[in-house]
Structure 1
Amino acid sequence: MNILITGANRGLGLEFVNQYKMSSNNRIFACCRNPQQLQIEEENVTVHKLDVTSLDNMKELKSEIANTPIDLLIHNAGVYGSKNSFGNVDVDSWLNTLKINTIAPLKLSEILVDNVAASQKKMIAIITSKMGSISDNTSGGSYVYRTSKSAVNMVGVSMSRDLKPQGITVLLLHPGWVETDMGGSNALLKPKESVEGMCKVIETTTDSGAFFAYDGQKINW
């Protein structure tokens, strides 16, 4: 498979690279804002510069890969944004978080849709969060992050409808609470366990527009 991963220089993105690169049948396009941070020497991995807030960067990436089919496009790049509570929300942080977490997966999908449609697997996976589930929100707060993930969930569902005629499957994946820079040291999962689970969901499901946890359980909206 040809697999393109955003936010590939650390955390879940780097773990996706490490797991998928183990098969010589996979070709990995590892994308991140600062390529010098990602030193990988495997022949089946190439590193590409991608700032997901830049449409120009997205178009440059498209030029680099040209018409190469992309079996699996993983939108992993994401930020938490400000943690301000009600009455204190940082609007600039909110707008930047929406650019990265919500708008970027849609715009990059638009730019690379022909590459995905030309592949065999034809799959787009968006790494979202259960914190974007409205029915699961019992604690309030986290306005910036929650809204960005609720919004990208809607993006994924709409894309699943719009891209169905091209045979493209769109998955929304909750990685769990993972020990990354974002998740912190108290998290319940290591990146390896989370990504192993998400890879299994990617491998086994064709339920386009569905929202799955890393362990294969469906999540309510």
Structure 2
Amino acid sequence: MPNVLITGSNRGLGLEWCRQYAATGWRVFATCRFPAQAEELQQLEIEHNALTIHRLDVTDSIQIDALARELADHPIDLLINNAGVYFEKYIQPEQDIDYAAWSHTFCVNTMSALRVSRAFLDHLRHSQKRLIVAISSHMGSIAEIESPGSYYYRSSKAALNATMKGFSLELRPQQIGVLLLHPGWVQTRMGGPDAPLTTQESVKGMRALVDAFSLADSGRFFRYDGSEIPW
């Protein structure tokens, strides 16, 4: 049974990753900051014996290291760095830039992906799939910037892309892959109700890319539909 570890699993895309992998027979380690409040995730745990919920704030190195020790005996075939924030979604454009919020966005969207990935490298080395996925966004593509604003989110995702691209080169000799994925505009709390994609459609598309992954794709940046995104 392959194992997957997913961050930000309590709602939206993270919850759907958990649902689809649990339904296809994977062992799922689902993480979120507040498990006691994650009612839909708790229901999934009841429905699937191979899904377990673990507390994890991806900005907390103590919690990350503690979870790595807790799962020390479990190889991780697939690590999905899904946790993310988009503070500008909920503020007015004319508001002053909140540099503390910008800094926190970097902590969650950029630094945590590398921090979590490094903590679980031994788990990945002992697995069959050996793949790290980072959920990015086309908004992190400098080539696709066509409007002002969303500076925190855009810059954090561009930095995530650069970080994980470099990390892919570091890991290639160890046969560990890194895949950067844009899930599309999805009907989540972040994407809003007018988004054209359901979480089911988005995750199904991204799972197909995970299934088809080879080391030649490591460090590349794809949309959920398989089209490559320019940097």
Compute the TM-score of the two structures, normalised by the length of structure 1.
Answer: 0.97
Compute the TM-score of the two structures, normalised by the length of structure 2.
Answer: 0.93
Q: Is the 8 A contact 1:86 1:141 kept in 2?
A: no
Any gaps of 5 or more consecutive residues in structure 1? none
Any gaps of 5 or more consecutive residues in structure 2? none
CA positional deviation for 1:173: 0.2
- Cα distance in 2 for partners of 1:127, 1:54 equals 19
- Aligned position for 2:96: 88
- Aligned position for 2:30: 30
CA positional deviation for 1:141: 1.2
In structure 2, do the counterparts of structure 1 residues 86 and 165 end up closer, same or farther at CA, with 3 Å as the change threshold?
farther
| Runs of 4+ with deviation above 4 angstroms | 83-87
Secondary structure at the counterpart of residue 124 of structure 1: strand
Q: How does 1:15-26 map to 2 (within 5 A)?
A: 15-24=16-25, 26=26
- Cα distance in 2 for partners of 1:174, 1:135 equals 14
Larger helix percent: 2
2:55 counterpart of 1:49: yes
- Cα distance in 2 for partners of 1:137, 1:86 equals 19
Q: How does 1:1-221 map to 2 (within 5 A)?
A: 1-24=2-25, 26-36=26-36, 37=38, 38-39=41-42, 40-41=45-46, 42-82=48-88, 83=91, 85=93, 88-206=96-214, 207-221=217-231
In structure 2, do the counterparts of structure 1 residues 84 and 91 end up closer, same or farther at CA, with 3 Å as the change threshold?
farther
Q: Is the 8 A contact 1:131 1:146 kept in 2?
A: yes
In structure 2, do the counterparts of structure 1 residues 133 and 45 end up closer, same or farther at CA, with 3 Å as the change threshold?
same
- Cα distance in 1 for partners of 2:34, 2:18 equals 16
CA positional deviation for 1:86: 7.7
CA positional deviation for 1:140: 2.0
Secondary structure at the counterpart of residue 193 of structure 2: coil
Q: What is the CA deviation profile of residues 74-96 of structure 1, one whole-angstrom value per residue up to 9, with x for unaligned ones? A: 00000002356488211011011
Count of paired positions: 220
Q: Is the 8 A contact 1:105 1:126 kept in 2?
A: yes
